[in-house]
């Protein structure tokens, strides 16, 4: 997998921060009112693209949150990648959350699929079916199939994924990024025990959202 971790700021934001920062500095000397606006945009972008290190939970059966945000769905649903009936957990990221995406379990990527689509509000149920998305099917080290789907939101216009079919990844490892508001859906085999509940705020790569049923 392409290495994409950064100690403080995600590389996805470097070019934006450079351009906005340079414009803010330049306008400080010529257009004070514009400088104020640009500095606001700069500091907003700085917090949006922050990428703090995370320590994943131990244990083969634990499933960690693939993203920072608020849990908006916990319940049974049909897995769009496998057709199986699964436990679905959805996490909504607003513009103030960290937007790095992390693998929920350790394992091998057995399928990756990108689907073009709409840009409805990511908090809506129809976003899972109709929005632009990138899906990964992971075969865990315990032999279970877990699906993790990055979904674009109302103003999110770019989904980035750095892992490919056939590659292995570790739980909590950074694998992608979605710009400006979005959600991530995780589908787990029935029998998995949800730990997170609707309304909970979770930390990507760190919070446990479910426990897989042991084989």
Helix (H) or strand (E) holding 35: helix 32-48
115 is catalytic: no
- Residue 194 three-state SS: strand
Strand partners, 73: 90
Task: From the candidates 4, 128, 140, 182, give the one annotated as an active-site residue.
Answer: 182
Phi, psi of 60 (to 5 degrees): -65, -30
Residues in the chain: 215
Environment class of residue 164 by beta-carbon count within 10 Å: exposed (0-12), middle (13-18) or buried (19+)? exposed
Catalytic residues: 182
């Amino acid at each position: 997998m392409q290495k994409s971790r950064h100690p403080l700021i995600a590389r996805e934001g470097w070019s934006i921060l450079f351009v906005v920062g340079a414009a803010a500095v330049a306008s400080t000397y010529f257009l004070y009112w514009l400088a104020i606006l640009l500095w606001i945009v700069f500091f907003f972008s700085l917090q949006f693209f922050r990428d703090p290190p995370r320590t994943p939970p131990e244990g083969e059966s634990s499933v960690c949150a693939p993203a920072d945000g608020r849990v908006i769905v916990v319940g049974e649903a049909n897995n769009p990648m496998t057709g199986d009936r699964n436990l679905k957990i959805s996490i909504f990221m607003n513009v103030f959350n960290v937007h790095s995406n992390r693998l929920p379990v350790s394992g091998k990527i057995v399928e990756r699929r990108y689907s073009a689509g709409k840009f409805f509000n990511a908090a809506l149920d129809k976003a899972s079916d109709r929005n632009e998305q990138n899906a990964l099917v992971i075969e865990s080290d315990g032999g279970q199939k877990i699906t993790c789907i990055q979904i674009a939101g109302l103003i999110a216009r770019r989904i980035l994924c750095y892992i490919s079919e056939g590659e292995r990844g570790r739980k909590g490892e950074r694998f992608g990024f979605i710009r400006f508001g979005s959600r991530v859906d995780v589908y787990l085999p029935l029998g998995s025990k949800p730990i997170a509940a609707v309304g909970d705020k979770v930390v990507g790569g760190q919070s446990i959202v479910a426990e897989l049923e042991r084989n």
